[in-house]
Amino acid sequence: PEADPNFAMPFDGEGDYVDIPSLQYDGSHPLTIEVSVRPDGIPEQYARLVSLPEVYVVANPTYPQFLAVANEDPRRGFSIRAEHQFRPNQNVYLACVYDGKQIELYVDGQRQDGLRTFDSETGELEFGTHPDIGLKDLLPDLGMTIGGNWKGEESFRGLIDEVRISNIARYTEDF
């Protein structure tokens, strides 16, 4: 019999995730997070696909769309929402790029607009601004997770494949 060539990681959305504590990020240099995903359905809550401390890619159930998120501190964060809705059981390639000052999201190679700045203390949400983001004061004792967060929450349901983390800003335009 032939071996199955698909080595994608299946996640059931019930608290399972992959923890890679040795892969840490301190915010002092550029970063690119890339991942190929196929969601099984629309999540009931935010579902983290790939996460390093305070820089992560999630599936957002509200719209439903993908988000790239960078939190400058516990009160202030930035997100870019994908322009199109994702569809269950369809593959999509995501790239979250932090160039040391700003965050970008690419969906199937297309740069997404729609940056939002939010303040969790005041609840203020501002659209369209693209300020410099400082990620120096993160949680250096936490490593990367795939398919959920460090608490086993925000779990993803579907397949995750082809995860790549780079210490450079790999993309500056559509690819």
111-115, 138-142, 170-174: which is most confident: 170-174
The DSSP output letter for 8 is P
Express each pLDDT in 28-68 by its tens digit.
888 899 999 999 988 888 898 998 866 788 888 877 788 88
Residue pLDDT, tens place only, 114-157: 766 666 666 666 665 555 666 655 545 678 899 998 888 889 99
- Residues of the chain with pLDDT > 90, as a percent, come to 34
Give me the amino acid identity at 117.
Answer: T
- Predicted pLDDT at 10: 94
Residues 6+ apart with CB under 8 A from 170: 32, 34, 95, 97
Residue 22 is which amino acid? S
Whether the per-residue pLDDT at 171 is higher than 80: the answer is yes
Distance of alpha carbon 49 from alpha carbon 175, whole angstroms: 21
Q: Taking 80 as the threshold, does the pLDDT of residue 104 lie above it? A: yes
Predicted pLDDT at 165? 93
Average pLDDT (91-111) is 89
> Which tokens in the block code for residue 164?
């790549």
pLDDT at 140: 54
With beta carbons less than 8 A apart as the criterion, state whether 78 and 72 touch: yes
Q: What is the pTM of this model?
A: 0.85
